[in-house]
Chains A and B, each alone.
Chain A
Amino acid sequence: METGREKKPVLEIRGYTKVYGEGKKAADKVSLTVESGDIFGFIGHNGAGKSTTIRAVVGVLDFTEGEIRIDGHSVKEEPMACKRITAYIPDNPDLYENMTGIQYLNFVADVFGIGAKEREEQIARYAGRLEITEALGDLIGSYSHGMKQKLALVSALIHSPKLLVLDEPFVGLDPKASYTLKEIMHELCEQGTAVFFSTHVLDVAEKLCNKVAIIKQGQIIAEGTMEELTEGRSLEETFLEVVDEK
């Protein structure tokens, strides 16, 4: 996205490798950079290593080799500094079902130390846009999958993160919510936030992202701006060609 701001790296992954107990490499020397104002799409087959990489970025998963930096802070050495400026929404957000939506949002806001006034504004803004305000007094256990995702999204945006990481964010969202999410992603990147997300929906990635990386069997096989990568073809054609080639 062209935001007119000076771009600077927000997420830098260098030689990230994740080896599981039996020696299987889920990610092998993955390197990529997401800059402020980028909407970066991370695409690949099922089991290619997208979620493993994302989970390592947000500090949920430990990794074997390499370096991941968020706004210059090492995920391994300064996890708290990284988490304070990052927001994460997993593909299937398991939230605290025994809390009401508003209690959960207050919990997240308390963790980020957000003042009462600011949190009220942020909750009103995003919950209103995603049309879940009236459900905030209900238990999360009563929410549908889509509503849980919307709540997770509001909780992720409550502290105005520098890096927003989403794992398959469009799965389960209704068409209107998907549209709102895309709008929000555009607005965020105009404000200088970097958005890094995985998806299977190539049409969405093509329309939304300015940069894309394709991962196959734990290795990045193609990366660049949308124009560089597709060279006038559709992302779907490019993806299939690159994946079949390598």
Chain B
Amino acid sequence: MKNNGWLLLKTLLLSTSQRNIYKYSKDKKKRGKVIAGWIGFGILYLLLIAYCVATSIGYGQMGIAGSIPVLCSLTISAMAFLLTLFKTNGYLFGFKEYDMLMSLPFEARTVAGCKFLYMYCQSLPWYLGIALSMMAGYGIYERPGLSVYLIWICLSLVLPLIPMLIAAFLGFLIARVSSGFRNKTVIQTVLVTGVTLLLFASRFLIEDMIRDDRVEETLESLANLTENIAGVYPPALWFAESVTGLRISRILLLAGCSLLLFEAVFLTVGRSYRKINSSLHAHGAAGQYRLSAQKKHSVLLAIAFKELRRMLGSTVYLVNMGLGELFCLVLGLAVLILGFDRFIALFTRNAPIETQMLFPSIPLIVYFLLGMVATTTASPSLEGKNYWIVKSLPIDSRDLYRGKMLFNLGLTLPFMVFATLCMCASARVPLGTTLLYLVQGCAALGFSSAWGCVCGIRFLRLDWENEVEVVKQGAAVALYMFPNTFVTIGLVVLSVFLGTRMDRNVLSLLFTAVTALLAFLCYRRVMTLAAKA
């Protein structure tokens, strides 16, 4: 990249640098928020490191520490691919400062390349966290030489590039296809989610490939395992061979391919970058409206409708917040088509499990998908520069957040009812129990909306430049998502375990009561915070 490319990259990083805000802001509250953000980031980072180290130790204890480099490579690659696919639209195309940047003497490919590298720099600390903690786990069991550590560290910087570039290129193709349509957001969302679903489906195919060779036997042999995976994703093999075999050719192959792919992708993207952005910025204006009868709605419904329009108008927001609903739909249909037992067998690998044991986990599995991210985590911050509207209008702050929670419930409840009914019908759950699970689902979604709103208000950030900063990287979303996901997984396991020792309906009733209580407490907290906002 030319010198002005580095200048642009530096400026992009500086423009969203929290350190810069801390250094130059005289506002104590703002500086305090930056510190709180760092603390939150640090806690999540430590959790991630602990998880990766624990996974490596697990591998070590099983005697397959040699597989850690492949595991590390695959984990980072999968994360980099998925996260980039979800972020590309917001970072590379249709961003706010497009006009300003393109009016400066930068080539289109430089702007696109810098935007990509900016995205890479923002995500790199997370990938390094995974890579280095797995390296530590590998080091404990394999006791490699110093050169292994050095190569591992250096290649950790390169490892996310190929999957990120592939995802960015797919994002580019999606943007290019959708830019030709009037409903660009909907087309983009459908294509992105389609690719995501394909990826998830391919996971099962890959597992089948490995399982054909019998997992236990394969795990004993690193060579077999890497060979199998290399058939699907060669860079994983290159990384593993670079680290374990210290093969210079593989190091050069990984670095060279990353560089060549970067050049090729942005040469291609650069050619139609201007055209795509012009199409994405252009709005079809019919200018033929005739004033007709209007309807009056309550303030809460008006706010909920506003939220719906906000979500439908943004691919980043829609894809990230609507994924749970889509998965729920797929889950419901899959269970209906495959049958409950066969569906569960996909995950339990045909382990002998009594179907009824899993009944109490049904509402929790549904909640795991729908409660993954609540729109209320991001929607307060997404007001951004529009905040003046709700602040200057006679909207009670509590009504504003009630409206946001109402929208989240309106969005998630129908999917919860659908998925729960599909699972219960397929598993032949008694009617009374089904109703109990529906009530439990309602309580869980009530909790999700309210807890999300607490996080959204506590970590309100209006001065964002790109909505990705709120939807994907926001402190509110992170604080909500990670604990919620882990606790829900824990509760699924706990519900199955406790279900074998006590009456399952009593257990579900207990879960419902606790969740409803938490939802109520969170709702009260939202009202307190809203009154102060």
Contacts and interface: CB of A to CB of B under 8 A. Distances in A.
B23 interface: no
A83 interface: yes
B385 A123 contact: no
Interface of B: 25-30, 283-291, 293-299, 301-302, 305-306, 309-310, 312-314, 384-386, 388-389, 391-396
A135 B297 contact: no
Interface string A102-137: 110011111111111001100110010000011111
Interface in A141-181: 141-142
A240 interface: no
Contacts of B301: 110
Interface residues of A, number: 47
6 contacts: A106-B294, A107-B302, A107-B305, A110-B297, A110-B298, A123-B291
A133 B388 contact: no
A58 B260 CA distance: 56
B28 A120 contact: no
Residue of B30, B283, B298, B301 with most chain A CB atoms under a 10 A cut-off: B283
B388 A111 contact: no
B302 A133 contact: no
Contact of B287 (A109, A123, A134): A134
Contact of B388 (A86, A94, A116): A94
A98 B384 CA distance: 14
A113 B299 CA distance: 8
Contact of B309 (A55, A94, A103, A135): A103
A135 B285 contact: yes
Contacts of B306: 96, 99, 107
B533 to A, nearest CB: 11
Nearest to A88: B392
B320 to A, nearest CB: 16
Nearest to A83: B394
Contacts of B295: 106, 116
A111 B394 contact: yes
Contacts of A21: 25-30
Contacts of B389: 95-96
B147 to A, nearest CB: 52
Given A138-B287, A139-B285, 12 more contacts: A21-B28, A83-B393, A95-B389, A96-B386, A98-B314, A99-B313, A106-B297, A107-B302, A111-B302, A116-B296, A135-B287, A136-B291
Contacts of A99: 306, 309, 313
Contact of A59 (B28, B302, B314, B392): B392
Contacts of B291: 102, 120, 123-124, 127, 133, 136
